[in-house]
Structure 1
Amino acid sequence: MTSNSGLNDGYVYREQIEAGAGRSALAYLTDTYRHSSEAEWRARFLRGEVQLDGVTATGDEVLRARQVLCWHRPPWQEGETPDSFELVHEDETLLAVIKPGGLPTIPSGGFLKNTLLSFVRKRWPEASALHRLGRATSGLVLFSRTREAAARLSRDWREGSVEKRYRALSEGLATQEHYEIRAPIGLVPHPLLGTVHGATPQGKASSSSARVLERRAGQTLFEVHIHTGARADPHPPGVHRPPARRRPAVRRGGLPREHSPGLPGDGGYLLHAETLAFTHPLTGERLRLHAPPPPGLRTSEG
């Protein structure tokens, strides 16, 4: 099933000024949020959508540190997404579900209502996502139902005690059976968003390993084990791509690309979060959860 429920309720994007002090409000928004042009931001000021410290702004205001700048985005039509998920674990502190490819985990990239978080909260209003998957990525997502569970599992994630295994289809035939990937992860320039996370020599140390599951006609199916990451929200293997003749993960299947040069989470790749293993924050039991891979990521033996 897919969801396309008309206009959403709009959203208020709010931030406190820090590095933008001394610049005009228009210049700051134009340079910081490059998904929109200067003309588009100017039109928003003219429509009265932008406020500075609770007062409608013109765009000419010189920003000061600690001021609060808000854009009241009007309701908009979101893109179609799947509207269902599969529950694999439920107790009084945790939920684990299987996210379908094409559904954003949390609000981002033009999606507000059509997200996994929104659909999960219809049944469990207290749920909070402990990590996220890219929109086109399928597989396991873990939710906390209490603050205590969130705090303990976030600590375990930072300390590397949560096991994360993915399946990924890569373009080209792997020349060896196993790869250790050590590319540091940090912020890199993006022409639409300013910066996104990617491989960069200036990033923080990260470690993944990739094991060949199967070679196909011009493609390699990998199991990817994420050991450590640069963020509390663990980096996806779309950043650490398993090498196959030094070519990137294949961009086939999934959702069509709608942006150029593209946004994080855009479709076109085959990636699946297959396994999560962690210590239960209440019982101390070691849990190991599994999400069967979709057809395009299964081996020929099933």
Structure 2
Amino acid sequence: MTAKKGEWLEFTVPSEWQGQTIESLLKMTWGAPKKWLHQLRMEKGVKLNGQMVSWQTPLHPNDRLQLWLYKPEQTDIQPNYRELEILWEDEHLLVINKEPGVDVHPTDPQQTDTLANAVTLYLQTEGIFTKARHIHRLDRDTSGAILFAKHALAGAILDRMLEQRQIKRTYVALVHGILKKKSGTIEAPIGRDRHHPTRRRVSQTGMAAVTHYRVLDTYHKEQTSLVELTLDTGRTHQIRVHMSYIGHPLVGDVLYGGSLGQWSRQALHALKLTFPHPFTREPITCIAPCRDGWFPGALWQ
């Protein structure tokens, strides 16, 4: 059980922490980064039952462990209002259903219309003046679930979980053509396209990239297929590059060989986000409704 108290977050110690010290909880159980731990120690950012104590102090059930997690941080991101569709939230993290046509974060300090600007303002209305930390990214024209951390410790733990593939992301896309195989794996390295500033391409000198796909439905009249995709890696434009590479570019993705048709963006949506909670290990699953007409809503309802 946790409770935000100003810039501090108070944990009521559960029975499973019995016998652990403050230091072992921070280092071993949560895997907090050394640099962050050093800063926390220097700033006297830990209390037990309202008192400064040694980090070697053992924890007992119902103790109140207080951590200075919401220390105000400087940021170049200006707070700006945008309506947010929140899928899941607690004192540590925030999952948002991103709409298409919105950048996740600014490319320069003057840009104020991104998701990070809106999250910054939202956190400030909660009395939180930390940086808005996105754990992963979505392209500007890709919609769906995206995860933010509300403080540096949650951000560090979630970053590590992403590296260890504990955060699972499931996408759906509408692609050109009828796929011959109902499921498969695309394993092809991705690198920059030296002839184009933003495009990526399959390249033997690129970084390893693995995409798994499964056909959900086929539309023979339109000559398109609805596919589910999961990633073992997180390369820039990975799904778009890989599907184009096998001859099935995304509908609307003109950068990689798709045609617009009636859609003004690539038909790609981050449908599901599944991960263990960074502190409680509770399994969390978020389903992000797709608001575009290309995606049949019956699949997520």
Matched, 1:215 2:212: no
1:172 counterpart letter in structure 2: G
Structure 1 segments unaligned to the other structure (5+ residues): 1-81, 258-266
Superposed, 1:227-238 pairs within 5 Å as: 227-230=232-235, 236-238=238-240
Matched, 1:239 2:220: no
2:295 counterpart letter in structure 1: R
Q: How has the CA–CA distance of structure 1 residues 100 and 229 changed in structure 2, closer, same or farther, with 3 Å as cutoff?
A: closer
1:160 counterpart letter in structure 2: R
Name the SS for the 1:238 alignment partner: helix
1:250 counterpart letter in structure 2: V
- The answer as to whether partners of 1:83 and 1:103 remain within 8 angstroms in 2 is no
For 2:293, the equivalent position in structure 1 comes to 296
Q: CA deviation at 1:249?
A: 1.4
What's the CA shift string for 1:141-171, capped at 9, x where partnerless? 1000111111111111112221111011101
Q: Which structure shows the higher strand fraction?
A: 1
In 1, Cα distance between equivalents of 2:202 and 2:104: 22
Q: CA deviation at 1:83?
A: 3.7
- The answer as to whether partners of 2:188 and 2:210 remain within 8 angstroms in 1 is yes
For 1:162, the equivalent position in structure 2 comes to 167
Q: Which structure shows the higher helix fraction?
A: 2
- The answer as to whether partners of 1:104 and 1:111 remain within 8 angstroms in 2 is no
Query: How many residues were matched structurally?
Result: 203
For 2:32, the equivalent position in structure 1 comes to none
Name the SS for the 1:239 alignment partner: helix
In 1, Cα distance between equivalents of 2:206 and 2:155: 26
Q: CA deviation at 1:239?
A: 3.0
For 1:71, the equivalent position in structure 2 comes to none
For the aligned residue pairs, the C-alpha RMSD in angstroms reads: 2.7
Q: How has the CA–CA distance of structure 1 residues 196 and 151 changed in structure 2, closer, same or farther, with 3 Å as cutoff?
A: farther
Q: CA deviation at 1:236?
A: 4.5
- The answer as to whether partners of 1:133 and 1:236 remain within 8 angstroms in 2 is no
Q: CA deviation at 1:197?
A: 4.2
1:205 counterpart letter in structure 2: A
Q: CA deviation at 1:243?
A: 6.8
In 2, Cα distance between equivalents of 1:149 and 1:300: 32
In 1, Cα distance between equivalents of 2:274 and 2:288: 12
Structure 1 consecutive aligned stretches of length 4 or more whose deviation exceeds 6 Å: none
Q: How has the CA–CA distance of structure 1 residues 282 and 110 changed in structure 2, closer, same or farther, with 3 Å as cutoff?
A: closer
Q: CA deviation at 1:235?
A: 5.6
Identity %: 31
Matched, 1:250 2:251: yes
Superposed, 1:47-62 pairs within 5 Å as: none
In 2, Cα distance between equivalents of 1:99 and 1:185: 25
In 2, Cα distance between equivalents of 1:181 and 1:98: 27
Structure 2 segments unaligned to the other structure (5+ residues): 1-80, 124-128, 256-263
- The answer as to whether partners of 1:167 and 1:297 remain within 8 angstroms in 2 is no
1:237 counterpart letter in structure 2: I
Name the SS for the 1:104 alignment partner: coil
| Residue of 203, 206, 209 corresponding to 1:206 | 209
Q: How has the CA–CA distance of structure 1 residues 110 and 92 changed in structure 2, closer, same or farther, with 3 Å as cutoff?
A: closer
In 2, Cα distance between equivalents of 1:92 and 1:224: 30
Matched, 1:188 2:193: yes
1:272 counterpart letter in structure 2: H
Name the SS for the 1:273 alignment partner: strand
Q: CA deviation at 1:190?
A: 4.3
In 1, Cα distance between equivalents of 2:248 and 2:109: 30
The alignment's TM-score, normalised by the length of structure 2, stands at: 0.61
Name the SS for the 1:106 alignment partner: coil
- The answer as to whether partners of 2:202 and 2:245 remain within 8 angstroms in 1 is no
In 2, Cα distance between equivalents of 1:203 and 1:294: 34
Superposed, 1:110-129 pairs within 5 Å as: 112-124=111-123, 125-126=129-130, 127-129=132-134
